[in-house]
């Protein structure tokens, strides 16, 4: 989307888009101060989460190959199969692949792809993971504002959406990448 622009143009466009995103989120927050209906609270927080997820999405539309330091993507000692299982990542994965959400990022699926795609897949999981980190940090400021104003129901609702739409996808990308690295150690030996 933004790949064809030069660096300066990308930065300017991102600032414009981010201005729009944060303005929408600010108005949703302001509106939410007047809302007491649980359904409206959940709806506002759902829209806020999706709105703020655009921050990470648009960043990678401009800067596709930006990554965290390589140490970040290495499997930690505690990230075992049981770690992901106990956190419910496998259940989240089943939900994801059996829902309309599976259509949102086709690049992180291996089904029907040649073995050579594994290298691309590994990079796509890193990009997606990083995008969800960025997108997950943005709602924290709104969550803190909800706490400051004593709007616990808003805080809980936004936290749940942030966990479901950012933390679990982040964990799923890590789990999938580690599975591929374990499954194809010889293929990926010099690449990861």
19, with CB counted inside 10 A (0-12, 13-18, 19+), is exposed
Dihedral sign for Cα atoms in the order 177, 182, 186, 191: positive
Q: The tokens 């829902």 sit on which residue? A: 99
DSSP 99: S
Determine the Cα–Cα distance for residues 94 and 87; give it in Å rounded to an integer: 14
- Dump pLDDT digits (tens) for 107-137: 666 677 777 778 888 888 899 899 999 999 9
- Dump pLDDT digits (tens) for 26-37: 999 999 888 889
Low-confidence ranges of the chain (pLDDT < 50): 192
153, with CB counted inside 10 A (0-12, 13-18, 19+), is middle
């Amino acid at each position: 989307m933004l790949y064809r622009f030069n660096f300066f143009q990308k930065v300017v466009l991102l600032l414009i888009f981010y201005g729009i995103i944060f303005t929408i989120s600010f108005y949703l927050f302001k509106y939410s101060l007047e809302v007491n209906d649980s359904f409206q609270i959940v709806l506002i927080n759902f829209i806020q989460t999706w709105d703020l997820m655009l921050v990470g999405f648009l960043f990678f539309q401009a800067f596709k190959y930006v990554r965290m330091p390589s140490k970040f993507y290495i499997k930690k000692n505690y990230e075992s199969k049981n770690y992901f299982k106990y956190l419910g990542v496998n259940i989240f994965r089943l939900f994801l692949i059996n829902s309309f959400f599976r259509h949102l990022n086709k690049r992180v699926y291996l089904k029907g792809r040649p073995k050579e795609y594994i290298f691309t897949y590994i990079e796509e999981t890193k990009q997606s993971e990083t995008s969800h980190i960025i997108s997950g940090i943005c709602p924290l400021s709104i969550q803190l504002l909800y706490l400051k104003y004593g709007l616990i129901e808003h805080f809980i609702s936004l936290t749940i959406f942030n966990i479901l739409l950012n933390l679990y996808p982040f964990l799923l990308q890590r789990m999938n990448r580690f599975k591929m690295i374990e499954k194809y150690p010889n293929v990926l030996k010099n690449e990861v």
